[in-house]
Amino acid sequence: MADLEIGIGKSGRRAYGFDDIAIVPSRRTRDPQDVSIAWEIDAYRFDLPLVASAMDGVVSPASAIEIGRLGGLGVLDLEGLWTRYDDPEPLLQEICELPAERALSRMREIYAEPVKPDLISARVKQIRDAGVITAASLTPQRTVQFAQTVLDSGVDLFVIQGTVVSAEHVSTRHEPLNLKRFIADLDVPVLVGGCATYQTALHLMRTGAAGIMVGVGPGQANTTRGVLGIGVPMATAIADAAGARRDYLDESGGRYVHVIADGGMRTGGDVAKAIACGADAVMMGSPLARATEAPGRGWHWGHGSHHPEVPRGTRVQVGQVGSLEQVLLGPAETDDGTTNIFGALRRTMALTGYSSIKEFQKVEVMVAPAIRTEGKAFQREQGRGMG
């Protein structure tokens, strides 16, 4: 793809977000009942291609269990409130009630409490004992410190997640995490992210990760793009990572690394477009924060919302629209695509004639500026509704 001239001294690629593209119907249609939206990673199979974001307003041990029961994977943030406090419920309630001018300072105070290894073990055990697949997340900075505790607790999938995660971190102050060596020493599959380019995705695949999260700063509670100026529109980021997956498959002699689209998806149509661009599954936060079982009680905030130096997230009121089951599987209680999200995905696949996620990744898409305009108008309406 040719670069576009930004100015005499700088050129750049044209990139596309979900609002810029549309899925093209094919010559064949199917009954939705004949479509499978299941996916597998390592030894684990899920009925829904859903990974719930490791955010305190989205995933608690109880909601992780419910998400697992419904067919998805809930990821618990091991640096969140559930591993800092024996009973975080009063603090969750307080965060929801904070006036805007006090939110950042008070959240910094709340999250200053140290992470406790015994609570990591207790929370993972609570989820595991419920009989669902267990996943938990650490940032690269805390991975070495708490990794053994996490492994000893019996986690099934280990998630290493930061704003931007690279296979090669350079530091003159401390020994950085060597992802390749770390993953090689583990007996559990590891998901790593985020990334947003072909080259970074390819390097992360070479570390031995079972899956990579793709997306930098597109989420509703994330302000990375405004604060740091970093980001790649999601459709292009996913397609580039899918290209890296294809090339790594050849390079490695057949090792398939899963691509998980992370952030920027609010509707069933967004999820369908993410998979059409090459994702195997999606990681979602704000749509799940709107469920009545979500610990945020209709509020949503990102990992970086309480950063002590450079906050890269905000606390937003997303409201409540129904149960987790309604949000994921219906019946829909809204006509904007934000409930029955995976029922909509199944119908999109049926209307385009595809019967599985892997097949649907081959669907034709087109650049559709009219859809982009309509999408932005929709987002403006959504923004007014959440004010």
Question: Pseudo-torsion of CA 298, 299, 303, 309, nearest 10°?
Answer: -170
Task: Look up residue 149 and give its two tokens.
Answer: 């505790």
Q: What is the pTM of this model?
A: 0.90
| Residue 257 main-chain phi, psi, to 5 deg | -110, 130
The residue type of 201 is A
* Confidence at residue 170, expressed as pLDDT on a 0 to 100 scale: 41
Read off the pLDDT of each residue in 358-377 and give the average, rounded to a whole number: 75
Give, in order, the Cα–Cα distances in Å from 89 to each of 57, 115, 343. 11, 16, 32
Task: Please count the other Cβ atoms lying within 10 Å of the Cβ belonging to residue 49.
Answer: 25
Per-residue pLDDT tens over the stretch 41-100: 999 999 999 999 999 999 999 999 999 999 999 999 999 999 999 999 999 999 999 998
pLDDT above 80 for 318: yes
Distance CA 289, CA 282 (A): 15
CB 194 within 8 A of CB 202: no
Whether residue 12 lies inside any domain: the answer is no
Distance CA 66, CA 74 (A): 8
Whether residue 171 lies inside any domain: the answer is yes
Percent of the chain topping pLDDT 70: 86
- Helix then strand then coil, in percent of the chain rounded to 5, is 40, 15, 45
**Of residues 134, 182, 176, the one with CA closest to residue 157:** 134
* Confidence at residue 382, expressed as pLDDT on a 0 to 100 scale: 41
Distance CA 364, CA 306 (A): 41
Residue written as token pair 């390819």: 202
CB 177 within 8 A of CB 64: no
Task: Please count the other Cβ atoms lying within 10 Å of the Cβ belonging to residue 310.
Answer: 9
Residue written as token pair 């997306």: 215
CATH code: domain of residue 81: 3.20.20.70
Task: Please count the other Cβ atoms lying within 10 Å of the Cβ belonging to residue 381.
Answer: 11
Whether residue 13 lies inside any domain: the answer is no
| Phi and psi based region of residue 39 (left: phi greater than 0; alpha: psi -120 to 50; beta: remaining) | beta
CB 81 within 8 A of CB 91: yes
CB 49 within 8 A of CB 308: no
* Confidence at residue 220, expressed as pLDDT on a 0 to 100 scale: 58
* Confidence at residue 137, expressed as pLDDT on a 0 to 100 scale: 96
Whether residue 278 lies inside any domain: the answer is yes
Whether residue 227 lies inside any domain: the answer is yes
pLDDT above 70 for 379: no
Whether residue 340 lies inside any domain: the answer is yes
Count of structural domains, the chain: 1
Per-residue pLDDT tens over the stretch 2-40: 789 999 999 999 999 999 999 999 889 999 999 999 999
**339 or 305, which is more confident:** 339
- Per-position DSSP letters for 206-233, written without gaps between them: TTT-SEEEE-SS-STTB-HHHHT-----
* Confidence at residue 259, expressed as pLDDT on a 0 to 100 scale: 98
The residue type of 144 is V
Alpha-carbon Rg for the chain in angstroms: 20
- 265's CB contacts (< 8 A; 6+ apart) are 18, 234, 271, 274, 282, 284, 287
Instruction: Place 228 in a pLDDT band, splitting at 50, 70 and 90.
Output: confident
Domain extent at residue 157:
44-385
Instruction: Place 370 in a pLDDT band, splitting at 50, 70 and 90.
Output: low
* Helix, strand, or coil (residue 330): coil
**Of residues 310, 349, 297, the one with CA closest to residue 57:** 297
Read off the pLDDT of each residue in 241-254 and give the average, rounded to a whole number: 98
Whether residue 166 lies inside any domain: the answer is yes
Whether residue 48 lies inside any domain: the answer is yes
Mark out the alpha helices in the chain (DSSP H runs).
Answer: 61-70, 89-97, 100-110, 117-129, 140-152, 179-184, 198-205, 224-227, 234-251, 268-276, 286-289, 324-329, 341-351, 357-360, 369-385
